[in-house]
């Protein structure tokens, strides 16, 4: 079975959370306090997004 990872960002309660599923490894979640993003951005071109490079 392939070891896939998944990264998502979602707003809740005035903050943005970034969750990464580490597959068979450990998972992680980060709270970006006071950041109210609307999407996950990997290009740097999206308005109101959390930019992951």
Q: How many domains would you assign to the chain?
A: 1
For residue 44, being part of any structural domain is answered with: no
For residue 40, being part of any structural domain is answered with: no
Residue 39 pLDDT > 80, yes or no?
no
For residue 45, being part of any structural domain is answered with: no
pTM of the model: 0.67
For residue 14, being part of any structural domain is answered with: yes
What's the pLDDT score for residue 4? 63
Q: Which domain holds residue 20?
A: 1-35
Give mean pLDDT, residues 16-28: 83
| Measured distance CA(45)–CA(42) in Å, rounded | 8
């Amino acid at each position: 079975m392939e070891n896939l990872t998944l990264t998502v960002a979602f707003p809740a309660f005035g903050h943005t959370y970034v969750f990464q599923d580490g597959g068979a490894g450990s998972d992680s979640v980060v709270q970006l306090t006071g950041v109210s993003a609307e999407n996950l951005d990997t290009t740097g071109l999206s308005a109101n997004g959390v930019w992951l490079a």
